[in-house]
Structure 1
Amino acid sequence: MRSKTLILTLGLAAMLPIPTGAARAADEATLRRGAYLARIMDCAGCHTQGALIGQPDPKRHLAGSDIGFGIPGLGVFYPRNLTPDPETGLGAWSEVDIVRAVRTGQRPDGRELAPAMPWRSYAALSDADAAALAAYLKSLEPVRNEVPPIAGPSEKPAAPYLTVAVP
């Protein structure tokens, strides 16, 4: 029942006027909380170009990476663009879509997120924290950055990737 309440709340929030005064301070507090959560959840560690090799590009913060994760038997997955860019990022996703993906591992179209995405841990986020993270991601400056496509287990990846070597 709580998730239905969250969906209704986030849906109604989109129809409200831009807040002023104390309400704006509450929104700023929510965005600060979302930024904090993105930082401690280390979203940038995978979803920022260059971060996986120790050279994060601040101009492409959370805009995806062209270094992927190879998972034996599944393929190579590249961290997606989390900015609200309408073509290469989360621009078409609602805050409710983001909350659902973070908590259940499912995209709005029903496909699963990459297996390396630790959504099972993030499923424990409180309603307020999940909503704050989604609001923060939607508040980012959109960055157009298309990442390489997923490569199946028998396909050649289009870009470099990290992998797990079984001894």
Structure 2
Amino acid sequence: MKVGFAVAAVSILAAFTNTATADDQVARGAYLASIMDCGGCHNTGAFTPKPNVETPLAGSDIGFEVPGLGVFYPANLTPDKKTGLGAWSDAEIIAAFTTGLRPDGRQLAPAMPWMSYGHITKEDAASLVAYLRSLKPVEHQVPGPFGAQEKATAPYMTVKMP
């Protein structure tokens, strides 16, 4: 009787720990996006008293100026095919936040902390992508980027080096 109970208990425990559903993966990705503070920059209205939480991660209209490099605006991370990540493969999205390189070979904005995210596990990277893919696609083209000699067309903050 004790052996039968132990086998049943182990089987139930294994069922709970070994079955990850798509919902679990999206929930894990949402958690990761939260602790990675993706919305701290990539939300419309980020850097204002009223960030837009209705369209999370749809990009920001307020950028960062890095002297000598230009002005950069946090991108639209929703699965919109025209203005977001909808045309990017999962591998391209993961490469962007782990290596700092876009599919076209350009470097992401210097403010993007990809070096901090470069050690994410494969499972967590896949969960983050699953979450981004689960978002409502929002057509929102962010400004720029603008080179050091170009005039930015939208508000930005300046990073001033000492």
Measured against the shorter chain, the TM-score band is: 0.7 to 0.9
1:107 lines up with 2:80 in the alignment: no
What is the Cα deviation at residue 133 of structure 1? 0.4
Which secondary structure does the structure 1 equivalent of 2:27 belong to?
helix
Structure 1 counterpart of 2:4 = none
* Contact 1:95–1:138, Cα closer than 8 Å, also in 2: no
- Distance in 2 (CA, whole Å) between partners of 1:101 and 1:166 is 26
- Distance in 1 (CA, whole Å) between partners of 2:49 and 2:92 is 30
Larger radius of gyration: 2
What is the Cα deviation at residue 84 of structure 1? 0.4
* Contact 1:105–1:119, Cα closer than 8 Å, also in 2: yes
1:41 lines up with 2:57 in the alignment: no
1:130 lines up with 2:125 in the alignment: yes
- Distance in 1 (CA, whole Å) between partners of 2:52 and 2:32 is 20
Structure 1 counterpart of 2:145 = 150
Residues 50-73 of structure 1, C-alpha deviation per residue, up to 9 Å, x if partnerless? 121131112331000010000010
Q: Specify which of 60, 64, 67 is matched with residue 59 of structure 2.
A: 64
Amino acid at match of 1:26: T
Structure 1 counterpart of 2:11 = none
Residues 24-75 of structure 1, C-alpha deviation per residue, up to 9 Å, x if partnerless? 9611111000000000000001000112113111233100001000001000
Give the alignment's TM-score, normalised by structure 2. Answer: 0.85
- Distance in 2 (CA, whole Å) between partners of 1:109 and 1:164 is 26
Q: Which runs of 4+ in 1 moved over 6 A?
A: none
Structure 2 counterpart of 1:118 = 113
- Distance in 1 (CA, whole Å) between partners of 2:105 and 2:154 is 26
Q: Name stretches of at least 5 consecutive residues in structure 1 with no aligned partner.
A: 1-22
Amino acid at match of 1:100: A
Structure 2 counterpart of 1:9 = none
- What percent of counterpart residues are identical? 59
Amino acid at match of 1:111: R
Aligned residues: 145
Structure 2 counterpart of 1:78 = 73
Q: Name stretches of at least 5 consecutive residues in structure 2 with no aligned partner.
A: 1-17
1:29 lines up with 2:24 in the alignment: yes
